[in-house]
Amino acid sequence: MVNYRRNKSSSPDAVYFLTIVTNNRDRLFAERDDFVLLWHEMQRIAKSSGAEFQSWVLLPNHMHWLLKPGDADYSRLVTSIKRGVGIEYKQLSRLKTGSTLWQDRFWEHTVRDEDGLRNCIRVHSL
């Protein structure tokens, strides 16, 4: 396995661009109910952690997310959202027992300045 080290800023104002992908790139997010389920889980996590969601987009097999975690650990936020949505999918019988909803890892990029933030929002809003 690749030894990967995440870039984590000590600044509570740091913003990260995250990409989270479904297992095997399965197209699991195609309906309005999928969007609502994920949105409710994200709101729950934001409220409990104090994190801010700058922008996000949900596509059928992945999501992009601009996150300002504040004092929270963004890796734990991602894990919490993945777990929460996976539990909901299993309870709704939309995911088979023993199946995995998400890829194990996720991709992150530290947004370094306002230009980078605007670029992330513009490119991923098209």
pLDDT tens digits for range 88-120: 988 888 887 778 899 999 999 888 888 877 777
Sheet of 52-59, strands arranged across: 52-59, 62-68, 15-21, 107-111
CB 81 within 8 A of CB 42: yes
- Tens digit of each residue's pLDDT (9 = 90 or more) over 24-72: 999 988 888 888 999 999 899 989 999 998 788 889 999 998 889 988 8
> H or E stretch including 20?
strand 15-21
- Is 4 within the bounds of a domain? no
User: CATH number for the domain including 79?
Assistant: 3.30.70.1290
Give residue 32's domain range. Answer: 15-123
Task: Provide the domain count of the chain.
Answer: 1
pTM score of the predicted model: 0.82
